[in-house]
Structure 1
Amino acid sequence: MTDERHDQGQDRGHDERREGYRGTGPGAITPDGCAVDLYARLPVNDEPEVIAGAVPPGASLLELGCGVGRMTHPLLDLGFRVTAVDESAEMLARVRGARTVRSPIERLDLGERFDVVLLASFLVHAGSLDVRRGLLDTCRRHVAPDGCVLIQREGEDAHTNVPRERPLGTDGLLRVASATPVAEGVDQVHVEYEFPDARWTQTFLSRPMGRAEFEQALTEAGLAVDEYLTEDRIWVRARPVAV
Structure 2
Amino acid sequence: MGTNTRTGRKGTGPGAITPDGCAVELYTRLPAGAEPDIIAAAVPAGARILELGCGVGRMTHPLVAHGFTVTAVDESREMLDHVRGARTVHSSIELLDLGQQFDAVVLASFLVNTGDADERQALLRTCARHLAPGGRVLLQREGQGWHTNLPSERVDPAGFTVRMVSSDPVGDGVNSIYAEYEFPDATWTQTFLSRPLTDDQLDAALAQEGLAVDAYLTDDRTWVCARRAA
Query: What TM-score does the superposition give when structure 1 sets the normalisation length?
Result: 0.93
Say whether 1:17 aligns with 2:20: no
Shift of 1:44: 1.6
Matching residue of 2:169: 181
CA deviations on 1:143-166 (whole Å, 9 max, x unpaired) are: 101100000010111121321111
From 183, 200, 212, the counterpart of 1:195? 183
Query: How do residues 110-189 of structure 1 correspond to structure 2 at under 5 angstroms?
Result: 110-189=98-177
Shift of 1:171: 1.1
Shift of 1:168: 2.6
Shift of 1:241: 2.0
1:180 corresponds to which letter in structure 2?
A: D
Matching residue of 2:197: 209
Paired residues of 1:43 and 1:168 also in contact (CA < 8 A): no
Q: Distance in 2 between matches of 1:115 and 1:151?
A: 14
Q: Distance in 2 between matches of 1:73 and 1:213?
A: 32
CA deviations on 1:93-124 (whole Å, 9 max, x unpaired) are: 00011000011101111011000000000000
2:70 corresponds to which letter in structure 1?
A: V
Paired residues of 1:167 and 1:174 also in contact (CA < 8 A): yes
CA deviations on 1:139-194 (whole Å, 9 max, x unpaired) are: 00001011000000101111213211112342100000011001211100000000
Say whether 1:240 aligns with 2:228: yes
Shift of 1:130: 1.1
2:55 corresponds to which letter in structure 1?
A: G
CA deviations on 1:169-228 (whole Å, 9 max, x unpaired) are: 421000000110012111000000000000000000111111110111111111000000
Q: What residue ranges of structure 2 are gaps of 5+ in the alignment?
A: none
Number of aligned positions between the proteins: 230
Secondary structure of 1:175 counterpart: strand
Over 3 Å off, 4+ runs: none
From 23, 26, 34, the counterpart of 2:14? 26
Matching residue of 1:3: none
Paired residues of 1:178 and 1:190 also in contact (CA < 8 A): yes
Shift of 1:240: 1.2
1:185 corresponds to which letter in structure 2?
A: G
1:64 corresponds to which letter in structure 2?
A: L
Secondary structure of 2:144 counterpart: coil
Matching residue of 2:89: 101
Superposed CA RMSD in Å reads: 0.8
Q: Distance in 1 between matches of 2:80 and 2:157?
A: 23
Q: Distance in 2 between matches of 1:161 and 1:62?
A: 35
Query: How do residues 61-100 of structure 1 correspond to structure 2 at under 5 angstroms?
Result: 61-100=49-88
